[in-house]
Chains A and B, each alone.
Chain A
Amino acid sequence: MIYAFFWLVQDLLTVLTFGAMQIPEIFLLCLVYRLLTQDWEGNVPLIWAAFLGGLLWDLRWVGIPGFFTLSYVGVVMVVLWIWNTLPVSGRTPLVIFFLFWTAQSIPATLSAFVLGRINQASWMFFAAQQGCAVPVALLGAFFYVHHEKGQNA
């Protein structure tokens, strides 16, 4: 349910700012946050949540089913792999922030290149989106640190 909520938030913000800017991948950041904070049992539903969220995004905004579906699932799998590979001592706030920011930038970068929306205006939108993603990624890192502190307390 929380995934649907964040997907809708991203969708509504996209509608609100349509033609003016691109919204950061809030839904994907939510997935990544859950991936980093929950137990492994929740990962399988999370993968399918990424699949459904991406598919719905494709049907709503792209018109080509599969594009964001693959991007979201791919990002989730990559983050999962990195997270499992990364030693616990390496899970610093900076790494978490970098993980958040990179995760949300991959679908945006792919769509900018693959969907052929490469012109000056789209690059400005892309830059604005990545700029807006920084505070969101910082927020995600902050919540992660806060969550970890709560777990260790």
Chain B
Amino acid sequence: MVDKRLTLEWIHGIVALIVGLFLLGASPNLGVLKSVVDFVGNVLSIPEYPAVVSREFLRDLYRWARDKNDLTRQLEVLKDENSKLQITNSVLVAEQIKAELDTRMEDARVTLREPHAWWNEVRIDKGFNQGIIMGLPVFQDGFLVGRVSSVSTFSSWVELLTSSALMIPVVIEETRELGVVVGDGNGSVLLTYIPEGRGIEVGMKVSTALISELLPPGIPIGSIADAGTTSGNGYMTYKIAPGASTSTLYTVSILKHSKGILQ
């Protein structure tokens, strides 16, 4: 019984192998093979459709994730490059500004300070021929000390901060409060037109506000020196400690105009 069972299985197996071998050998010569393969593919495409759709979905998902990863990485690189470029650009701009300021800054010697107008004006040895025009800011040690008030060919007069004739709009840097700096003609510099109760404190820095292209904003003047006095009309007057030494003026610097603005 066992032998008969095995014999039957082996007969079927060998027949199947022979048919398989025949198919393998004869298939290159079978003209209908291509049609049969196409037919099987077409029939199976129906049950395979969900798998095809799923594969496309998974492939798209994989590509999306990969692209997202790539984009994130590229974004990081670009951010890094951008920050470096910004730093480089800032350095370049700062260097350009510095270079421009170097070309625009002109040193001048004080040649006359009349005793009767000691706190009002000084004469310097640079005039129109050196590019000096009226209204240019004059510095000492980086602080505003006055403005050019009149110009002749080889010399100019500078109205000092301590002069009662020079009024300069300013801003208190900590509070952005606007006011006017004016001298009293006796060596003091005052900050006026500040409304009462604005929390102005001693030591706050004062710099120029934007008034004209000749006097750029942000030029340091000094700092608040006292608690202020009320002027009676709701405004306070504070004493300013100038950054420049107005009593020892020997040399000053003048910020000349850029050629473009002059034109």
Contact = CB atoms under 8 A, between A and B. Distances in A.
B6 interface: yes
A63 interface: yes
Consensus secondary structure, chain A interface: helix
A8 B40 CA distance: 13
B25 A66 contact: yes
Interface string B13-27: 100110111111101
Given A56-B40, A59-B40, A65-B27, A40 B19 contact: no
A74 B17 contact: yes
Contact of A66 (B10, B23, B44, B50): B23
A12 B9 contact: no
Nearest to B50: A12
Contacts of A48: 12, 16
B29 to A, nearest CB: 12
Contacts of A60: 37, 40-41, 44
Nearest to A63: B37
A65 B55 CA distance: 27
B24 A47 contact: no
A71 to B, nearest CB: 9
Interface centre among A17, A54, A65, A76 (most CB of B within 10 A): A65
Contacts, number: 86
Interface string A39-54: 0100110011011001
Interface in A1-49: 8, 11-13, 15-18, 40, 43-44, 47-48
Contact of A65 (B8, B10, B24, B50): B24
Contact of B24 (A43, A51, A56, A70): A70
B27 A66 contact: yes
A76 B23 contact: no
B61 to A, nearest CB: 13
A59 B36 contact: yes
A133 interface: no
Interface size classification for chain A: 20 to 34
B47 interface: yes
B52 interface: yes
Contacts of B44: 11, 60
B65 interface: no
B54 interface: yes
Interface of A: 8, 11-13, 15-18, 40, 43-44, 47-48, 50-51, 54-56, 59-60, 63-67, 69-70, 73-74, 76-77, 80, 84
Interface of B: 5-6, 8-10, 12-13, 16-17, 19-25, 27, 30, 33, 36-37, 40-41, 44, 47-48, 50-52, 54-55, 58
